């Protein structure tokens, strides 16, 4: 008993010590300290409930011997039990309130434990007590160092904004323009104020020198004349002297000096043109814009047969409008007006162009780059607007923070255009480039706030003094408006210059005049039907106003008209679903025309494609996947072909295709990998996936982002359908690839990674189903963890007349019985003697209490998990109902008060301009 009291006292002192020390020193320490104090209160209360501790203490004082007082120990009276329970409840409430107060008002330093907890959160609301608790426990036996002091924002973007030295840049430009010049043998002469470089003619083996004078003024300083003359006197006829001006345009002039030296006068633009050739890049941009098919549809020929008409991107483009919200006003501008004004002023902030799915962000920037490319290829002199080279860098599938230097990422992107990272970095630092970071919402590894911060902080490293950067993406990539302002560096009053901040413009949706312009080159009757219907049908107009959805409407117009004639609702889901099916059918017909052989029909290939999309989502690959991963997914999927397609209710052609595939595999003695590679090749060549221009020919993506989002919405709808199929069960296997590490599961993960998929999810069900749909995760899985702890408490509360021992069980068996959920508490034998307590019996209880602590750590914070799941469930419910149900249904579910307004505000932040 003495040992027990000492251990109990130590636990209590440690608990309160941890709580006190952490009060202003560690947020996670407050959490752990609070839990430890609660455990101490629980342990003491459980003993006091069975042992008359007041009698024990009084006898100890009276006799002066703890050992003697233990022999006189009595069972707790009813009054003592009541007092114990009241004290336990009141003290627990007090400690919990005090802990919550400390957590809420904590303004101390951010330590490694808190920072580790933050890295596992998708947003601030997920900064749960359990994550803090687990993080702090990892630092119990090692230093928990301070990461950030109080008042410092750990997510503050730090732009580069470094002024580039013309002396160094001019040499870099010279070195990249001529591989004969050695970088190792290039030195700066302070005396002569020039670079002295060694040039080797590898054909003849002769060496010569180049003297490069980087000048910021057109005047040759008189103080340099004598030193320049010294160079003239020692230079040979093979040597070259170059004057390179930064700020003035100087035509190339040649002066003959002694020994027939050439004096070359260059300006920065001429040196850049020598160091990098952008014409091939310009041709690729122009080809993409002029040859990419934007609209494909069937029309009737004069003979009555069906013909496929295709209209390219440049024949459908309509200049978008942008708007900014400033001082309570909304100002609207044309896209070109914003870009031209921004380029004309070097001191203005960078640009952030935000838009929702399908608003034409990528197309608008590609069109601008195409106009630059056309001017570059057809004109010798560039006007001010086109003097900078627009580098259209698609961020899809990239992780900017993973590159060690800015040069490395530029080189990774520029490799396919024949550029090196050094060439592109010189172009940026020379203020002769526009960096267009297109689609920041599609970067890899952006599941939590720390990841998003890392990616944007890496992009801001390109903000050299005088640089021009455009960020484009969806605003719902950010968790809220504060995060958007933080990572895009908007309205940063502490910034030293405007160029290290950014100004936000948002894309407007199209109007009827814009739709007419987009449809200007399709069949006039078809175009007029769509425009007329959209002008009177608000539901159709809501879909048609997105540039990316209008081609889908054109392709599916006959189906849409038929649905409208039966008063069926038209949703983005139904339109995209029809478009996908039509795409497969068209590709099947093209293959048949070529006389090629398809191993599997399109329905099975689409089943594999759905599994690929689920794998992309789970791997957080952001609509990009390698050819090897496609084969890997295919290999796993074909193992379930029999279960999915050889059912009696499967279409006959699918059963025949799978049966034939099995027979061919046996006859040809093929391995599953060989079969998977053949099928994977078909999926890549005759499906929805195409080679990814952003990351190389060995990577693939869905060229229409809505394909990817629809398939995910369709997958998750099938997972939550009341009649789940074998197909959906197979696809669901790919949902757990990385989500467990991200702390995301099911619809919660979809809401944070691909929120627009809920538009399609909602369109696949009737409004009645969604009104009754409950997306919450069942609390039963959390309650299960409470069962062992309940068993332990029940064991404590069993009244044993003789002592706290199981006569026939060892302490190990007792522990196992306690920790393993039991259907009923075992009956404990009791003797007819007077109740006595031994040190061993109480020590057994103490051991059980200590062993139960891990359960205490996990069960108490599980309440917060239940709260988070309930909150996420309501958010998902609100999204689905907002997209599919009327206001009356929303009022009935969420009321009219502050809670409803809070959900509306949250919806606007995550789905701006989508309602």
| pLDDT, tens only, 751-763 | 878 888 998 999 8
**CA 434 to chain centroid:** 25
Residue 323: beta bridge partners? 332, 506
pLDDT at 39 over 90: no
Q: What is the pLDDT of residue 477?
A: 86
Mean pLDDT of 131-137: 74
What are the structure tokens assigned to 414, written together? 């520029």
pLDDT at 434 over 90: yes
Q: What is the pLDDT of residue 224?
A: 60
Mean pLDDT of 51-71: 66
Q: How confident is the model at residue 862 (pLDDT cuts 50, 70, 90)?
A: very low
Q: Looking at per-residue confidence, does 118 or 687 come out higher?
A: 687
Q: Looking at per-residue confidence, does 741 or 724 come out higher?
A: 724
Q: What is the pLDDT of residue 825?
A: 37
Percent of the chain with pLDDT over 70: 76
Q: Looking at per-residue confidence, does 880 or 785 come out higher?
A: 880
CB atoms within 10 A of CB 158: 11
Q: Looking at per-residue confidence, does 142 or 474 come out higher?
A: 474
Q: What is the pLDDT of residue 4?
A: 55
pLDDT at 628 over 60: yes
Mean pLDDT of 453-459: 91
CA triple 818-823-828, angle to 5 deg: 60
Q: Looking at per-residue confidence, does 806 or 233 come out higher?
A: 233
Q: What is the pLDDT of residue 32?
A: 80
Q: What is the pLDDT of residue 634?
A: 94
DSSP state of 360: S
Q: How confident is the model at residue 69 (pLDDT cuts 50, 70, 90)?
A: low
pLDDT in tens, 665-711: 898 888 889 999 999 998 988 889 988 876 666 889 998 888 999 99
Lowest mean pLDDT among 118-132, 259-273, 490-504: 118-132
Q: How confident is the model at residue 85 (pLDDT cuts 50, 70, 90)?
A: confident
Q: What are the CA-CA distances from residue 390 to residues 20, 338, 471 (Å)?
A: 58, 15, 13
Q: Which helix (H) or strand (E) holds 330?
A: strand 329-334
Lowest mean pLDDT among 457-471, 506-520, 812-826: 812-826
DSSP state of 75: B
CB atoms within 10 A of CB 393: 22
How many angstroms separate the CA atoms of 158 and 460, rounded?
7
Average pLDDT of the chain to the nearest whole number: 78
Q: Looking at per-residue confidence, does 792 or 19 come out higher?
A: 19
How many angstroms separate the CA atoms of 57 and 412, rounded?
75
pLDDT at 332 over 70: yes
Q: Which helix (H) or strand (E) holds 473?
A: strand 468-473
Computed over its alpha carbons, how large is the radius of gyration of the chain? 36
Around 660, how many Cα atoms within 13 Å sit in the side-chain half-sphere?
Answer: 10
Mean pLDDT of 345-359: 87
> What are the DSSP calls for 701-768, one per residue?
E-SSHHHHHHHHHHHHHHHTSSS--HHHHHHHGGGGSSHHHHT--HHHHHHHH-TTHHHHHHHTS-HH
Q: What is the pLDDT of residue 517?
A: 94
pLDDT in tens, 789-814: 544 544 444 433 333 334 444 444 44
Lowest mean pLDDT among 479-493, 610-624, 712-726, 762-776: 479-493
pLDDT at 745 over 80: no
Burial profile 654-688: b = 16 or more Cβ within 10 angstroms, e = fewer: bbebbeebeeeeeeeeeeeeebbbbbbebbbebbb
Q: What is the pLDDT of residue 596?
A: 61
pLDDT at 829 over 70: no
Q: Looking at per-residue confidence, does 149 or 437 come out higher?
A: 437
Q: Which of 263, 913, 288 is nearest to 546 (CA)?
A: 913
Instruction: Collect all residues with Cβ–Cβ distance below 8 Å to 73 and sequence separation of at least 6.
Output: 1, 51, 52, 55, 56, 836, 837
Strand ranges for 48-131 from DSSP E: 110-111
pLDDT at 571 over 50: yes
Q: Which of 400, 405, 395, 403 is nearest to 425 (CA)?
A: 405
How many angstroms separate the CA atoms of 473 and 365, rounded?
12
pLDDT in tens, 247-287: 655 443 333 333 344 577 777 888 888 888 899 999 999 99
Lowest mean pLDDT among 67-71, 163-167, 431-435: 67-71
CB atoms within 10 A of CB 755: 18
Highest mean pLDDT among 118-132, 167-181, 501-515: 501-515
Longest dimension (CA), the chain: 125
Q: What is the pLDDT of residue 858?
A: 47
Lowest mean pLDDT among 344-353, 445-454, 508-517: 445-454
Highest mean pLDDT among 88-97, 158-167, 285-294, 815-824: 285-294
Q: What is the pLDDT of residue 696?
A: 64
Q: Which of 577, 545, 883 is nearest to 707 (CA)?
A: 577
Mean pLDDT of 847-872: 51
Instruction: Collect all residues with Cβ–Cβ distance below 8 Å to 527 and sequence separation of at least 6.
Output: 516, 519, 520
Q: What is the pLDDT of residue 869?
A: 56
* Residue 250 burial by Cβ neighbours in a 10 Å radius (0-12, 13-18, 19+): middle
The distance in angstroms from the start CA to the end CA of the chain is 68
Q: What are the CA-CA distances from residue 248 to residues 210, 222, 295 (Å)?
A: 22, 19, 47
Q: How confident is the model at residue 845 (pLDDT cuts 50, 70, 90)?
A: low
pLDDT at 210 over 50: yes
pLDDT at 882 over 70: yes
């Amino acid at each position: 008993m003495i040992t027990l009291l000492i251990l109990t006292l130590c636990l209590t002192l440690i608990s309160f010590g941890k709580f006190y020390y952490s009060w202003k020193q560690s947020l996670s320490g407050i959490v752990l300290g609070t839990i430890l104090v609660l455990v101490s209160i629980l342990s003491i209360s459980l003993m006091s409930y069975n042992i008359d501790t007041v009698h024990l203490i009084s006898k100890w004082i009276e006799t002066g011997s703890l050992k003697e007082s233990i022999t006189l120990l009595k069972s707790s009276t009813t009054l003592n039990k009541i007092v114990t329970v009241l004290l336990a409840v009141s003290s627990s409430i007090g400690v919990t309130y005090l802990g919550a107060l400390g957590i809420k008002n904590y303004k101390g330093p951010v330590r490694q434990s808190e920072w580790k907890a933050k890295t596992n959160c998708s947003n601030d609301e997920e900064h749960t007590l359990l994550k803090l608790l687990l993080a702090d426990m990892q630092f119990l036996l090692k230093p928990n160092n301070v990461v950030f002091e109080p008042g410092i924002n750990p997510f503050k973007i730090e732009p580069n904004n470094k002024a580039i030295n013309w002396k160094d840049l001019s040499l870099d430009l010279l070195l990249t323009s001529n591989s004969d010049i050695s970088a190792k043998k290039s030195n700066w002469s302070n005396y002569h104020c020039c670079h002295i470089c060694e040039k080797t003619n590898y054909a003849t083996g002769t060496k010569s020198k180049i003297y490069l004078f980087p000048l910021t003024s057109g005047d040759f300083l008189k103080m340099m004349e004598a030193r320049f003359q010294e160079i003239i006197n020692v230079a040979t006829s093979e040597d070259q002297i170059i004057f390179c001006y930064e700020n003035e345009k100087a035509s190339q002039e040649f002066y003959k000096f002694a020994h027939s030296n050439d004096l070359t006068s260059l300006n920065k633009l001429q040196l850049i043109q020598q160091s990098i050739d952008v014409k091939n890049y310009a041709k690729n941009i122009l080809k993409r814009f002029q040859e990419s098919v934007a609209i494909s549809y069937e029309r009737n020929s004069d003979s009555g047969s069906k013909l496929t008409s295709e209209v390219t991107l440049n024949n459908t483009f309509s200049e978008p409008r942008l708007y900014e919200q400033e001082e309570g006003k909304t100002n609207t501008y044309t896209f070109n007006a914003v870009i031209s004004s921004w380029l004309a002023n070097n001191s203005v902030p960078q640009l952030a162009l935000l838009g929702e799915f399908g608003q034409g962000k990528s197309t608008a920037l590609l069109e601008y780059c195409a106009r630059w490319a056309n001017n570059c290829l057809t004109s010798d002199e560039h006007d001010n607007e086109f003097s900078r080279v627009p580098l259209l860098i698609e961020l899809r599938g990239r992780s900017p923070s993973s590159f060690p230097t800015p040069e490395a990422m530029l080189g990774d992107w520029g490799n396919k255009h024949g550029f090196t990272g050094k060439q592109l970095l010189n172009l940026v630092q020379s203020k002769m480039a526009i960096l267009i970071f297109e689609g920041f919402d599609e970067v890899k590894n952006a599941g939590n706030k720390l990841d998003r911060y890392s990616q944007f902080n890496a992009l801001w490293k390109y903000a050299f003094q005088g640089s021009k950067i455009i960020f484009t993406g969806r605003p719902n990539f950010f968790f809220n408006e504060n995060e958007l302002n933080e990572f895009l560096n908007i309205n940063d009053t502490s910034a030293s210059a405007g160029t290290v901040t950014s100004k936000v413009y948002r894309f407007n949706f199209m109007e009827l005049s814009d739709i007419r312009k987009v449809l200007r080159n399709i069949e006039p009757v078809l175009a007029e039907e769509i425009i007329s219907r959209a002008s009177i049908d608000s539901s159709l107009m809501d879909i048609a106003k997105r540039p990316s959805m209008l081609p889908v409407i054109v392709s599916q117009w006959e189906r849409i008209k038929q649905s409208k004639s039966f008063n069926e609702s038209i949703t983005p889901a139904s339109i995209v679903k029809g478009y996908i099916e039509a795409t497969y059918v068209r590709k099947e017909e093209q293959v048949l025309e070529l006389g090629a052989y398809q191993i599997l029909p399109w329905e099975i290939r689409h089943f594999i494609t759905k599994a690929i999309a689920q794998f992309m989502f789970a791997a957080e690959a952001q609509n990009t996947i390698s050819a090897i991963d496609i084969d890997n997914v295919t290999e796993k999927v074909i193992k379930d072909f029999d279960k999915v397609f050889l059912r009696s209710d499967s279409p006959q052609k699918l059963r025949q295709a799978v049966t034939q595939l099995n027979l061919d595999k046996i006859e040809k003695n093929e391995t599953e990998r060989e079969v998977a590679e053949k099928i994977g090749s078909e999926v890549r060549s005759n499906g929805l996936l195409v080679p990814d221009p952003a990351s190389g020919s060995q990577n693939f993506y869905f060229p229409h982002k809505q394909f990817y989002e629809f398939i995910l919405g369709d997958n998750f709808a099938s997972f939550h359908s009341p009649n789940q199929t074998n197909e959906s069960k197979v696809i669901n296997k790919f949902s757990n690839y990385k989500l467990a590490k991200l702390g995301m599961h099911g619809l919660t993960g979809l809401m944070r990674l691909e929120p627009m998929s809920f538009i399609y999810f909602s369109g696949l069900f009737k409004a009645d189903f969604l009104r009754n749909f409950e997306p919450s995760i069942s609390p039963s899985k959390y309650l299960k963890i409470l069962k062992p702890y309940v068993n332990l408490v029940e064991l404590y509360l069993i009244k044993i007349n003789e002592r706290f021992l199981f006569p026939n069980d060892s302490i190990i068996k007792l522990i196992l019985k306690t920790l393993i959920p039991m259907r009923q508490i075992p009956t404990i034998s009791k003797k007819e003697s007077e109740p006595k307590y031994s040190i061993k019996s109480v020590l057994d209880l103490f051991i059980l209490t200590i062993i139960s602590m891990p359960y205490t750590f996990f069960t108490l914070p599980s309440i917060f998990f239940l709260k988070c799941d309930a909150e996420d469930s309501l958010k998902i419910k609100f999204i689905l109902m907002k997209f599919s149900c009327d206001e009356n249904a929303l009022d009935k579910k969420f009321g009219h008060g502050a809670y409803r307004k809070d959900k509306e505000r949250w919806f606007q932040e995550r789905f701006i301009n989508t309602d």
